Amino acid sequence: MTGRKILMNFEVTPDSHTLGAYLGRGGYQTIAKVLREMKPEDVTKEIVASGIQGRGGAAFPAGRKWQVVDPHDGQPHFLIANADEGEPGTFKDRWVLEHSPHTLLESMLVAAYALAARHTFVYIRGEFDQPYTRLAAAVEEAYAAGYFGENILGSGFSCDVYVFRGAGAYVCGEASSLLASIEGSRGYPRNRPPRLTVKGLFQRPTVVNNVETLSNLAWIIAHGAEEYRKVGTPKSPGTRLISISGHIQRPGVYEVEMGYSWAKFLHEDCGGVLHGRKLKALIPGGISSQVLTGHGAKVLTADSVDSLLLDHQALWDVGSSLGSGGMIAIAEGTCMVRLLQVMLRFYHHESCGQCTPCREGMGWAHRIIDRIVSGEGRPEDIDRLLHISKFNDGTTICGLGDAAGYATIAFIEHFRDEFEYLIEHKRSKNDGRLECLPEVANA
């Protein structure tokens, strides 16, 4: 067991995504309570008191973001659920959309009431098929039952929700790019300030929250901030949805209480590394979070994993982060140079091209890593990759270039010997094979 459950506290059945099943779990009782008993300011205060942090990657306190918006300023306000889950290794928001979309919709109503947002959006990744289908059906059910539209539950509060499908651009997971996409423009990130909570969608105050972040709100209001803080740790309250993949016996989505033992999660709940291999490295929060390895100080090792806890502070202390909750287990035998090649290919492909350092730097880094893997690498290529990565840091509007640089630096710092070996011998240190687990490749 991974601790107390908030979002996965029900049995998944073929109809658990429907309105009838959600009502059977007590669904939409929270919004009825909010509309009947609470003022918008009361809802925001409760979310602030809960201490919930954003689940999309940055871990910024959700309540503090909301406090910037004045619900009585007379302006139109917008609320957007960011369901553009494009971070490689991350698929936990998809679980919510497929199995309990009404949890998100009710929580969005709670947030919209607190923010005086008449219009709300769910920006969903274009490649999502079943999640989109189930979310769209849930929206229709909610409208038919009177939970969206005019004069909801006779309260005088009105709210609409629009499901907006993206076109598959990774950069549109960044909040300002997402807004540009909704407005009909190219999905380019914006310089800030002004913050989006001051001038966001159509230059009006806008709050963008991750699907998982929003989905917690109905539970928090129903049970209270004090009860929520009893889950997790004082600095990292609540739970996290963790999507784990890679060389692990039982990949999938797990709800894990903050502060839970990492060793128990990996070796008991997830069954350990595939085929009994040793754990070589771990990417804890999507490929934009720095890899943890068995090399150097203040990093994860196979022996020290027993002392590591699953929370933000613990990950920050070892030089990484929980990020978007996309965990990738990497077994001994994996060629880390080839793995970095896959990652840099992705970053190069997904760079929007707006910022010169990222546009040129991602292509340059991709060409270098391709050259190394093909056996044409030069000794100076390693330091060239480090130079490009460090030059990109802080020189672009969004964090794509930064993330690619952090990943590259971490891989080279911890596995420089593999890069040097491949350049010198023109083959991988791991038998020259891309497949680190031949049993899987030949299955």
Rounded CA gap, 30 and 11, in Å? Answer: 20
CA atoms within 13 A on the CB side of 192: 17
Rounded CA gap, 215 and 440, in Å? Answer: 36
Domain 336-425 top-level CATH class: mainly alpha
DSSP string, 393-406: TT-SSSSHHHHHHH
Provide the 3-class DSSP secondary structure of residue 140: helix
Asked if 33 and 44 count as a contact pair (C-beta separation under 8 A), the reply is no
Structure tokens at 415: 């596995």
Residues near 224 by beta carbon (within 8 Å), at least 6 away in sequence: 46
Asked if 260 and 315 count as a contact pair (C-beta separation under 8 A), the reply is no
**CATH T-level assignment (fold) for domain 19-229:** Rossmann fold (3.40.50)
| CATH entry 3.10.20.600 includes domain 240-331 | yes
Rounded CA gap, 71 and 432, in Å? Answer: 60
Q: Indicate where the chain has its CATH 3.10.20.600 domain(s).
A: 240-331
Beta partners for residue 143, in sequence order: none
Closest-CA residue to 132 (of 93, 169, 185, 159): 93
Amino acid in the structure at residue 299: V
Closest-CA residue to 372 (of 328, 331, 411): 411
**Residue environment code for 120-156, b if the CB has 16+ CB neighbours within 10 A, otherwise e:** bbbbbbeebeebbebbeebbebbeeeebbeeebbeee
Edge-first strand order for the sheet with 279-283 is 252-257, 239-246, 326-331, 279-283, 292-293
Q: What is the pLDDT along the chain (443 residues), one digit of tens a residue?
A: 677 899 999 999 999 999 999 999 999 999 999 999 999 999 999 999 999 998 987 788 899 999 999 999 999 999 999 999 999 999 999 999 999 999 999 999 999 999 999 999 999 999 999 999 999 999 999 999 999 999 999 999 999 999 999 998 999 999 999 999 999 999 999 998 999 999 999 999 999 999 999 999 999 999 999 999 999 999 999 999 999 999 999 999 999 999 998 889 998 999 999 998 888 888 988 898 888 864 333 444 444 555 678 888 887 887 788 888 999 999 999 999 999 999 999 999 999 999 999 999 999 999 999 999 999 999 999 999 999 999 888 899 999 999 999 999 999 998 999 999 999 999 988 754 434 444 433 33
Residue 317, H or E segment: helix 312-317
Q: Indicate where the chain has its CATH 1.20.1440.230 domain(s).
A: 336-425
DSSP string, 1-17: --S--SSS-S---TTTT
Scan for tokens 């090399």, then name that residue. Answer: 295
Structure tokens at 332: 């001994």
- Burial class of residue 72 in the structure, from the number of CB atoms within 10 Å of its CB (0-12 exposed, 13-18 middle, 19+ buried): exposed
Q: Indicate where the chain has its CATH 3.40.50.11540 domain(s).
A: 19-229
pLDDT for 329-341, tens place per residue? Answer: 999 999 999 999 9
Provide the 3-class DSSP secondary structure of residue 78: strand
Rounded CA gap, 152 and 33, in Å? Answer: 12
Rounded CA gap, 43 and 159, in Å? Answer: 16
- Residues making up the chain, counted from first to last: 443
The pTM score is 0.92
